[in-house]
Amino acid sequence: MWNHLRGEEKMTNECIMKIIDYEVAPCPRCNEAHSFKLKGLAQRKAQEEVPIFGGTGATEETGRKSEILLTCPKTKKNFSYAVSEPTGLTIIGLASEVDIALATNTVPASSPIESDFEEWTKKSRDIALDFCKTMLSTSTGSIPIYFAILKYIGFEKIGSTILSKFAVLPPILFLAAAIFYLFGLRPQYESVAPQTFNAFRKRRLKKLNRFITWGTAIFIGALGLTIWILFCVLSQ
Identify residue 181 by its one-letter amino acid code.
Answer: Y
| DSSP bridge partners of 22 | 2, 36
Q: Residue 45: phi, psi to the nearest 5?
A: -90, 140
Cα separation, 29 vs 41, whole angstroms: 28
The predicted-structure confidence for 102-152, as pLDDT tens digits, reads as follows 766 655 555 667 677 777 777 888 888 999 999 999 999 999 999 888 888
35-40: average pLDDT? 75
pTM to 2 decimal places: 0.54
Q: What angle do CA 16, 21, 84 make, to 5 degrees?
A: 80
